[in-house]
Amino acid sequence: MLFILATLFTLSAYSSTTEETEKSFSQALSHYQAGEFDQAREILERLTLSQDSDANLHYNLGLTHYKLGHIGLAVGHWRKALALNPSHLDARKSIAFAMKNLKSSQIPSDSSWRGQAHEYFLSSVGVDSVLIALWISILGFGWVWIGYLKVRKQNPEAATPIPSLGLVFTGLFLLVGTISVAKYWDSSLDRRVVVSSGAQGRVGPSADSAALFDLVEGSSVIVRESKEGWVKVEYPNQKIGWIETNQLMKL
């Protein structure tokens, strides 16, 4: 779906397993279509209390926040949807659309290998897909090499060439294994989204401490430490500062 104007946003299909949830979502949809975005937001937020792992629910909640002008929260919920389902194209397109209307030129790009790997590859790969690929590569690797060793054992003096398929599965196993480790490490990072305008990274965990840099609403940070309602975060340009916890949304 191509997002040209915010008024073209529509709620995506939502799959539910209970009649009560379907009724609540229908009510949210009715409020949304009637322009009653606060009411739609309240219903969707209640649904997230019991279904926080539903990507479509976060995507739709992001739409209501966008209509209310809560750009940071909208982007936060879309990033949450993308974290839950990397193939959620509507969430990805919505983020791109929203960031164009923010001060995106002021958001520094993370040029580190970690940031580039996350942005262009790891964020698009689902954990389930990685586990399936890893399992297949392990089975193939074991099947080929166990068979090869069995032949060598039966004919120890015969010249048995290394099977080309074994080399292929070895390479695949090493590649998928590396990706699995990288995905696990990337998923272990505490990523959050700035949801308030005027947020600043400070020297220490106090509003009285000096401001070091501004954080653009909708941008992502990595939490390094927490202390009494404050967290030390790393901005995309590797700048580090303290910010109040309530100015961030946890993914």
Best CA proximity match to 58, nearest among 49, 48, 69 = 48
Determine the average pLDDT of the residues in 184-208: 90
Question: What's the pLDDT at 2?
Answer: 31
Residue 105 has pLDDT above 90, yes or no: no
Half-sphere exposure of 188 toward its Cβ, with a 13 Å CA cutoff? 6
Question: Distance (Å, rounded) from C-alpha 44 to C-alpha 64?
Answer: 9
| Backbone phi and psi for residue 243, each to the nearest 5 degrees, phi listed first | -145, 150
Other residues' Cβ atoms within 10 Å of the Cβ of residue 75: 27
Mean pLDDT of the chain: 83
Burial state string for 86-110 with b = 16 or more CB within 10 A and e = fewer than 16 = bebebbbebbebbbeebeeeebeeb
236: pLDDT strictly greater than 90: no
pLDDT of residue 161: 74
Residue of 16, 20, 69 lying closest to 41 (CA atoms): 69
pLDDT at site 106:
63
CB-facing half-sphere around the CA of 40: CA atoms within 13 A: 25
Of 65-79, 108-122, 133-147, the range with the highest mean pLDDT is 65-79
Percent with pLDDT over 90 in the chain:
36
pLDDT confidence tier of residue 78, bands split at 50, 70 and 90: very high
pLDDT at 12: 54
Number of residues that make up the chain: 251
- pTM for the predicted model, two decimal places: 0.76
Residue with the larger pLDDT of the pair 107 and 212:
212
| pLDDT grade for 173, boundaries at 50, 70 and 90 | confident
- Assess contact for 98 and 90: CB atoms under 8 A: no
